[in-house]
């Protein structure tokens, strides 16, 4: 989006356009279709088959059914999020059984060329089913192909298939292991970032409430002493107390809302509400989906802290948030940064560093403050 507010961003999230859809959902079918070129061997075998016409017809029907089951099952598994360390989605075992059945009933018409179905069955098990299915299918395919090479007449013609099956088994084993490890690392990173964020939220609430209540207590004591001797000054102190409590409430609202928010879009909405309560307008340039889940979590905490600083110190009338791949920037048109980094800024730097990002804090061009974090 271009220069939009948060409700519009929320609406955009609930009504994704074609450009916002996951690229895997739009083009993932290519991953399934591109490898079907290797089915040329069963096709050649069927064209030159000397089996009865019935088995040849069954072979062609099995080939077509195999292609449909493979492509549809591949896309279902990919979009449904099953496999690769996660339970396969409902129905995937039926697709897998159908693939095996199609390969088996092709044998009378295709002979040894039916072994060409094995790489597809292996990949389906590796990427769409369980790790146990991957190992059983891989070992079974290698053993079956090896037996065909050793025992069948003319089995040496299938040595190339055996080499492909062994190579594919190694590739599938290594690649799926790397994908699963990467997903686990991402999950652990997210959990660690969440845990650190909760600790930071607790510290921020403690610091905010402790500081505000200390000042309120001192001003309340002063107002009590002045209420008889200097009523006007006592009223001024009471007005300061009212302002301080409103500021503390707004800060706590932003902090607690940030702790509850699970996505960057929710954090934007929470910050918008808090800023609106302080008569500060919020504008957003970019899509929250431009950041990865871990980046978005860190960005949410930094956005929350930056919003808290705006409410507490900036005296701003507008805040602008820019989101792009690897970038979050928060700018206000307030009075600008003070001398040195406060606890809030130091906390943001620590969060950014823990997430492998760099944070810049300083004066905004013209007037105000700019907070920028880059990965």
Looking at residue 321, its pLDDT comes to 94
> Domain boundary residue among 128, 153, 178?
153
**Do residues 141 and 183 make contact, with C-beta atoms less than 8 angstroms apart?**
no
Class of residue 271 by CB neighbours under 10 A (exposed 0-12, middle 13-18, buried 19+)? buried
- Angle subtended at Cα 95 by Cα 94 and Cα 97, rounded to the nearest 5 degrees: 65
Q: Specify if 170 maps to a domain.
A: no
Residues 149 and 287 in one domain: no
Give the Å distances, CA to CA, from 152 to 109, 158, 198, 202. 16, 10, 65, 71
Residue 12 falls in which region: left (phi positive, over 0), alpha (psi -120 to 50) or beta:
alpha
**Predicted pLDDT of residue 50:** 87
Q: How far lies 226's CA from each of 212, 213, 260, in Å? A: 21, 20, 42
Structural domain contains residue 176: no
Tell the burial category of 354 from Cβ atoms under 10 Å away from its Cβ (0-12, 13-18, 19+): middle
Instruction: Note whether residue 7 is domain-resident.
Output: no
Residue 40's pLDDT is: 86
CA atoms within 13 A of residue 247's CA, in its CB half-sphere: 20
Rounded Cα–Cα distance for residues 263 and 204 (Å): 20
Each residue's pLDDT, cut to its tens digit, for the chain (375 residues) gives 444 443 444 434 434 443 344 444 455 556 567 778 778 888 998 998 888 999 999 999 999 999 999 988 888 877 777 777 778 888 889 999 999 999 999 999 988 888 889 988 988 888 888 889 899 999 999 999 898 888 877 777 778 888 888 988 898 888 888 877 877 777 776 676 666 666 666 666 665 566 567 667 777 888 888 888 888 888 888 887 887 777 777 666 666 655 555 578 888 887 888 788 778 899 999 998 888 887 888 888 889 888 888 887 888 899 999 999 999 999 999 888 877 667 778 888 888 888 889 999 888 887 889 999 999
The predicted structure's pLDDT at residue 2: 41
Written as six digits, the tokens of 316 are 């701003």
Say whether both 228 and 139 belong to one domain: no
In whole angstroms, what is the distance from residue 63 CA to residue 103 CA? 8
108 inside domain:
yes
Measured CA distances, 27 to 16, 79, 290, 332 (Å): 16, 11, 19, 40
Looking at the domain assignment, is residue 13 inside a domain? no
Q: Are residue 146 and residue 258 in the same domain, yes or no?
A: no
CA distance 141 to 135: 10
Identify the pLDDT of residue 27: 54
Together in a domain, 62 and 211: no
136 and 262 assigned to the same domain: no
Query: What CATH number corresponds to the domain at position 270?
Result: 3.30.565.10
Boundary (domain end) residue, out of 109, 138, 153: 153
Domain shared by 28 and 75, yes or no? yes
- Mark whether 231 and 99 lie in a shared domain: no
- Is 233 part of any domain? yes
Q: How far apart are CA 33 and CA 70, in angstroms?
A: 9
The pLDDT value recorded for residue 344 is 74
Specify whether 113 is located in the same domain as 195: no
Domain boundary among 112, 128, 153: 153
User: Is residue 177 a part of any domain in this protein?
Assistant: no
Q: Specify whether 232 is located in the same domain as 84.
A: no
CB proximity list for 320: less than 8 A, separation 6 or greater: 282, 283, 284, 285, 330, 331, 332
Domain ranges, residue 30 = 24-153
What does the radius of gyration of the chain's CA atoms come to, in whole angstroms? 31
Q: In whole angstroms, how far apart are CA 308 and each of 128, 173, 214, 345?
A: 45, 48, 19, 11
0.95 exceeded by pTM: no
192, 294: one domain: yes
The runs of H, that is alpha helices, within the chain are: 6-14, 23-27, 29-33, 40-47, 53-80, 92-105, 107-110, 118-128, 131-151, 159-229, 231-260, 264-277, 293-309, 343-354
Q: How many domains does the chain have?
A: 2
C-alpha closest to that of 180 among 126, 118, 139, 140: 126
Edge-to-edge strand ranges of the sheet holding 358-363? 281-285, 318-324, 327-332, 369-374, 358-363
| In a shared domain, residues 137 and 223 | no
Strand partners, 280: none
Asked whether residue 277 is domain-assigned, the answer is yes
Q: Residues 197, 311: one domain?
A: yes
């Amino acid at each position: 989006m271009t220069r939009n507010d948060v409700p519009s961003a929320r609406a955009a999230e609930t009504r994704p356009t074609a450009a916002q859809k996951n690229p895997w959902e739009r083009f993932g079918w290519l991953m399934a279709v591109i490898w079907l070129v290797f089915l040329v061997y069963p096709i050649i075998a069927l064209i030159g088959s000397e089996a009865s016409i019935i088995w040849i017809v069954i072979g062609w029907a099995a080939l077509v059914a195999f292609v449909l089951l493979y492509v549809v099952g591949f896309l279902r598994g990919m979009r449904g999020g099953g496999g690769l360390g996660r339970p396969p989605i409902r129905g995937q075992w039926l697709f897998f059984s159908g693939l095996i059945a199609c390969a088996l009933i092709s044998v009378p018409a295709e002979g040894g060329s039916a072994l060409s179905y094995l790489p597809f069955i292996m990949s389906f098990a590796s990427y769409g089913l369980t790790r146990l299915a991957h190992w059983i299918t891989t070992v079974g395919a290698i053993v079956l192909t090896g037996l065909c090479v050793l025992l069948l007449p003319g089995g040496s013609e299938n040595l190339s298939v055996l080499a492909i099956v062994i190579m594919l088994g190694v590739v599938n084993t290594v690649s799926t292991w790397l994908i699963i490890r990467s997903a686990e690392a991402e999950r652990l990173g997210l959990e660690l970032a969440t845990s650190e964020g909760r600790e930071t939220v607790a510290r921020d609430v403690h610091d905010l409430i402790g500081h505000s209540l200390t000042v309120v207590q001192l001003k309340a004591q002063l107002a009590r002493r002045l209420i008889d001797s200097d009523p006007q000054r006592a009223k001024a102190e009471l007005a300061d107390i009212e302002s301080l409590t409103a500021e503390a409430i707004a800060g706590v609202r932003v902090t607690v809302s940030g702790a509850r928010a699970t996505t960057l879009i929710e954090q934007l909405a929470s910050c918008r509400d808090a800023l609106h309560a302080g008569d500060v307008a919020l504008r957003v340039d970019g899509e929250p989906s431009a950041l990865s889940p871990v980046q978005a979590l860190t960005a949410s905490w930094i956005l929350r802290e930056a919003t808290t600083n705006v409410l507490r110190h900036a005296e701003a009338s507008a805040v602008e948030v820019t989101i792009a791949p690897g970038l979050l920037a928060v700018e206000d048109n307030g009075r600008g940064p003070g001398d040195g980094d406060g606890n809030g800024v130091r906390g943001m730097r620590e969060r950014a560093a823990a997430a492998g990002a760099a944070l810049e804090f300083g004066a905004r061009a013209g007037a105000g403050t700019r907070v920028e974090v880059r990965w």
